[in-house]
Structure 1
Amino acid sequence: MHIADGRSLWQRVRPYVLVFDLPLALIIGALLSVGLITLYSAGIAIPGKVWDQLRNIAAAVMVMWFVANIPPQTMMRLAVPAYALGVALLVAVALFGVIKGGSRRWLYIGTQIQPSELMKIAMPLMLAWFFQREQGHVRWQTYAMAALLLAIPAGLIARQPDLGTALLVTAAGAYVIFLGGLSWRALAVLAGLAAAALPALWAVMHDYQRDRVLTLIDPYHDPLGKGFHIIQSMIAIGSGGVTGKGWTHGTQAHLEFIPERTTDFIFAVFSEEFGLLGNLVLMVLYLLLIARGMAIAMNAPTLFTRLLAGSVTMIYFTYAFVNMGMVSGIVPVVGVPLPFMSYGGTALMTLGLGGGILMSVQRHR
């Protein structure tokens, strides 16, 4: 077999090893580092948390590297199978899924999986492929079909019930539909219809979901019960002041007043220990992450890659906004982690997959 141009082994494998977009990798690395520092403090009484998270990060980086090597053309071919597999798994969950805490969200197939996580990426993949196929003759029927493709998995996830994930999947698909050319006028009409449907939504919500909305409006109506956790979280954020109490010196976290302090409420721990200045630095990092993602989307060569990169970037924004909002008491409490900071393997895999998609789009321009 002929060896081309006498290049060394490193020269031949280098394009497949050094696949990360440097600005994006540096931003994600900074967020992961801040997350590990905060997790050490939040989980100081829980041995092994940091080492477990390091393993999660290693797995997420491997996923990111693997996906960054996949050309967008291959992703486009995988869009329909990934969407079909995700919907099939959601139907399987509805039929014979594992029930935990009153919710049927998991499926056991040798190991336990949560298929709704797959839809966070499969949904924008599918809709980006759909709009690429319809490019040049987009009509109102196109948007109606896209809405149907979005409603099927979102409805199955909401039925589990998992309203938080259903809203995230809906947001991921809605970003593609909007970036695909939906007019502001149509968006205003849809927003009006959504507002008009709120009474019907309230009627079908579960009691615990209604309690979350009522707690958002007035957490002090049950300060020692349903409102206790969000009140303690807001106390932690406020008590941090401008400069914070110092690393590992947060009283709300170490006295175990903050719920889920290593996962969904890690932002409260960070705010108490690093204060307003730390929060500003963290928000700048997330703004840089979103700005870099949008720059990659704008420079993408095809409609498919532009829509996909734009949607993945806005998923990062949604995660960060919703998590910080719920911990601060401005949106209802839902199970949304803080990107690249909260402890957990599944969420990190999804976020790493999204980062790999952005890097693939940038690499294969």
Structure 2
Amino acid sequence: MPRLLYLVTSAREMRLADGTPHETGYFAEEAAVPYRRFTAAGVDVVVATPDGQQPHADSYGLQPIFHMPDEDEDFLGSITRTFAPDVDDIRLTLRHLTGLGLGASRRIVLALRDTGMPLEEARALVGRAAKEAWRQDRQLADVLAGQDTPLSPADIEAAATAHLDASQAISDGLAAELAAIPGFQDPVALSDMTEDEMASFDAVFVPGGHGPMVDLADNPDVTRLLQILHRKGATIAALCHGPAALLAAGGRDDGEWLFEGFRLTSFTDEEEDQTVAGKLGMSWYLDTALKNAGAVFDDAPSAWVSHVVVDRNLVTGQNPGSSGATADAVLKTLEVL
């Protein structure tokens, strides 16, 4: 059975560009989804934080806007693909995906169907309204309210509320799932690990959230860990802001950064500028830092698209939506998938 070190930030606060404190921690989806997949595959997972302190789930990552039911998310994807003839030309921002009410599209279509409107007609109507909302940066419900439909504003609001309630239920379930993981309540301290203990792992996985930029990016114990695991060819994996840990990797015998010339990805500067912290002003940007360190940066054609890069023993994922695919890529390197 492969052994995997699940290295989670224990940071709870970061400093913005103007020096003000801002809540941080790990991003719930990025911690829960891979952990679930690793344990289901029979991997022996050991949770650690740099100092043995209990990790903190950033409340931002537990907002219901980030936990859309799969059927609603899939339907929204089928709608947004119609916005342009080439999917790569669709520029969807975080606000488009989470702030305009587009996630309720499926439920509004079904409500229209229930009034007797043919399903394809209902889908076409909502698709046109969603495109208008996207182009004009307006709420989908407001766009639909100005059109001739058999639904009242209250009907549309009810569909939107049902979507948000379902999303909140998923978020609450995720928080409960994480709280029930013993390692998240009583993690191992990376700082207490001997070199032999570090070498006993077949892989390390670092989930994101802004926290890794605080306590992993220049951590000497992370340096020890990555040097030891890299020497033995173990899988080194990180997701979203998790690749901040790679900045602590130290150098090779030739003086270059340990991952000089490796293809990798992370949360991009474009994506960062759309987050709450990014809008307030980050003190530094991860994607730029990795490029400056010597990475061959490989991001998706569009922001917020699932994207995973595997180069030799290094596995990296771009954003929260890449959580499942990144975990699967790690399992493949461990030959358990």
- Same-fold call, TM cutoff 0.5: no
Q: Which has the higher contact order (CA 8 A, sep 6+)?
A: 1
Structure number having the greater helix percentage: 1
TM-score (normalizing by structure 1): 0.24
